[in-house]
Structure 1
Amino acid sequence: VIPQADISFSDSLRLGYERGIILMKEIKKIYPDVVIDMSVNSAASSTTSKAIITTINKKVSE
């Protein structure tokens, strides 16, 4: 484990992105037809980042 103070801003974003990808893969295993989107948010004053995963509403053609 790397202490938070030793992680650069870009590394923090990369770690958030990698964790988000892992979570998205798990979601797709359970719900293969769902369309999802991910963004990584990070506070400018800290080295923590969060992956935000949302579903995308698709219009179904009738």
Structure 2
Amino acid sequence: MAISLDSLIVLKYRAAAGLTQEQLGFTIGVTRSSVSAWENKRETPSFRTLGTSAKH
């Protein structure tokens, strides 16, 4: 079973932190296009990425 991360959660917390997609991506070690893909429901982040982002 695939676990889906609601795209609005990524967008909501990124915006609340005042970060651009590029800044969030840099902080957690992914590209801006990955963050965009999550927010637009084209992809979902891996468990490893989720763990990294939870630490920040």
**Higher radius of gyration, 1 or 2:** 1
TM-score after normalising by structure 2: 0.32
Q: Which has the higher strand share?
A: 1
